Amino acid sequence: MIPRETSSAAAATDSGWRTAGPVLAVVVLIILALFSETALDMASIWWRSDTYAHGMIVPPIALWLAWRLRAGLSALSPRASYLAVVLLGGAGSAWLLGQVAAVNALSQFALVTMLVLAVPAVVGWQVTRLLAFPLLFLFFAVPFGDFTQPKLMEWTADATVAGLRLSGIPVYREGQHLVIPSGNWAVVEACSGVRYLIASITVGTLYAYLTYRTLWRRLLFVLVSIIVPVLANWGRAYMIVMLGHLSGNKLAVGVDHLVYGWVFFGIVILAMFWVGARWREDEVLPQQATAVVPATGSRASPAALLAAAVATVLVAGFWPLALWQLDHAAAREVKGLAPLGQIAGWQPSDAGSPYDWQPRFAGDDARRQAVFLKDGQRVGLFVAYYRHQDQQRKLVSSTNVLVASEDPVWARVAGGAKEMSFNQQPLRIRTAELRGLESTRLLVWQWYWINGRWTSSEAVAKGYTALSRLSGQGDDSAVILLFAQQGRPGEADAALADFATAAGAAIESALRQTAGER
């Protein structure tokens, strides 16, 4: 026999969830529909990128983790929270900022945040606290982490060089390119270990949650899952170079070195889990942990739940509407860059570029690459102009680079920064040194123009782009590159500085004229 009071409480709770569950599911689906472009962008990255392929299994795992807690959920009363609706509005504004600045990760993190906040908005914070880990685990679905590649590549090259020298093998290093007696090697994006790091953190966090109960053990294992793949990748890189060296470049060259790397990484991760299991804490089953938890607070009426759901959808739907309004007021397509006009002392060369090099910038609306002559000095100019930027076509992107890692001719071997004056304005620019075949070297200066503002910082360029779009001035932007062949020390620097001084007004005028044709 079941006491009448207990039966009544259970019926009331079940009744509350019979309304709250479907309402929450509908709200989540509507949010996904409203932001379908962002959601599909995430899914396309999962599909085409080995680094982020794990994103496809993150939502099912989160749902499974939530299902394990169903006994505890049934003991709680769903109660809507309008504070969560307000916070969801803040996440929506972050999504809009990511869209206007063309920052994919910001928009995607904001979308996941809105999905997470939909839970307390409809069913309350008590339920959200119980579902905290499954909800937070959803953030692993966001393709994020490419920004670590340059530093990871540098560390991998440092560790490989150190290992080779300790092994008695002489190494000459230039940038991320290594030369040893048996051949040449390069630390490229695939060697950075970022895919191992991201996979390890994702799986390690899930393992820590399922294996340990105390917070310090969970955090310690997550820390280990960050450190171990970095160290393992250093060992992997060293191992691959040594295999190639000792086998006369018959092993660990081409695609097979990636296979060796994954096998090695798999062994390391299994060893990490095996060691971690020695300190595991027995799991307390959800039924046992939550069966005694009473349903606290009075459950919300169906009308209150529906009102909160409608408010959530309306707040979420405001931001795609705001973006549509900004896009609707956008300028027409760019027909071409305005002419540069005369540049004092410098004459355009009809022979074209003497260097077989073009920067890897894509998605631009218009571009110009030319070479100018003065007293036997050659300086190249490259301008790529962007308007109506989006997540696929944008100025600042990890794929817009001076040299691609797989370029068979050119390699970036050095980089830095430099202060200069451009059109009577102080400007800090980025510098790079490129090495081509037959020891040809180019010095490259790079910076951005964002609707009348100059900067060489990618983050500042994104900020200027967002500010310009939100103020209704559009997102007209350009990258400016100057380049010259390295000769005697300081010769290329002097030529570039002279050309920048002479061409500053002409370049700025051409960009402003192009922006004015709206």
pTM of the model: 0.83
Residues 151 and 137 in one domain: no
Residues 184 and 213 in one domain: yes
Residues 390 and 511 in one domain: yes
Residues 140 and 151 in one domain: no
Phi, psi of 186 (to 5 degrees): -135, 135
Q: What was the pLDDT predicted at 22?
A: 92
Contact 276, 221 (CB under 8 A): yes
Residues 91 and 159 in one domain: no
Structure-block tokens of residue 400 = 């817009």
Residues 215 and 234 in one domain: yes
**For residue range 170-208, what is the model confidence (pLDDT) as tens digits?**
999 888 888 898 888 888 777 788 888 998 999 999 999
Please tell me the number of Cα atoms within 13 Å of 470 on its side-chain side.
17
Is 286 part of any domain? Answer: no
Last residue of a domain, one of 222, 249, 279: 279
Enclosing domain of residue 466: 347-516
**For residue range 431-442, what is the model confidence (pLDDT) as tens digits?**
999 988 777 889
* Residue 1 banded pLDDT, cuts 50, 70, 90: very low
Contact 314, 32 (CB under 8 A): no
Angle of the 256-276 helix axis to the 194-211 helix axis, nearest 10 = 20
Is 159 part of any domain? Answer: yes
Residues 506 and 362 in one domain: yes
User: Which H, E and C letters describe 423-454, residue by residue?
Assistant: CCEEEEEEEEEEECHHHCEEEEEEEEEECCEE
In whole angstroms, what is the distance from residue 325 CA to residue 156 CA?
A: 46
Is 293 part of any domain? Answer: no
Is 200 part of any domain? Answer: yes
In whole angstroms, what is the distance from residue 74 CA to residue 76 CA?
A: 6
Residues 439 and 504 in one domain: yes
Residues 366 and 508 in one domain: yes
Residues 170 and 262 in one domain: yes
Residues 36 and 173 in one domain: no
Is 216 part of any domain? Answer: yes
Q: Name the domain count of the chain.
A: 3
**For residue range 370-400, what is the model confidence (pLDDT) as tens digits?**
899 988 888 999 999 999 888 888 999 888 9
- Range in 246-255, 282-291, 378-387 with the lowest mean pLDDT: 282-291
Is 381 part of any domain? Answer: yes
Is 289 part of any domain? Answer: no
Last residue of a domain, one of 221, 244, 279: 279
Q: Is 482 helix (H, G, I), strand (E, B) or coil?
A: strand
Is 155 part of any domain? Answer: yes
Residues 223 and 253 in one domain: yes
Q: Mean pLDDT, the chain, as a whole number?
A: 86
Interior angle at CA 175, CA 171 and CA 177, nearest 5: 50
In whole angstroms, what is the distance from residue 217 CA to residue 62 CA?
A: 21
Angle of the 104-123 helix axis to the 82-100 helix axis, nearest 10 = 170
CA distances for 240 relative to 150, 264, 324, angstroms: 20, 11, 51
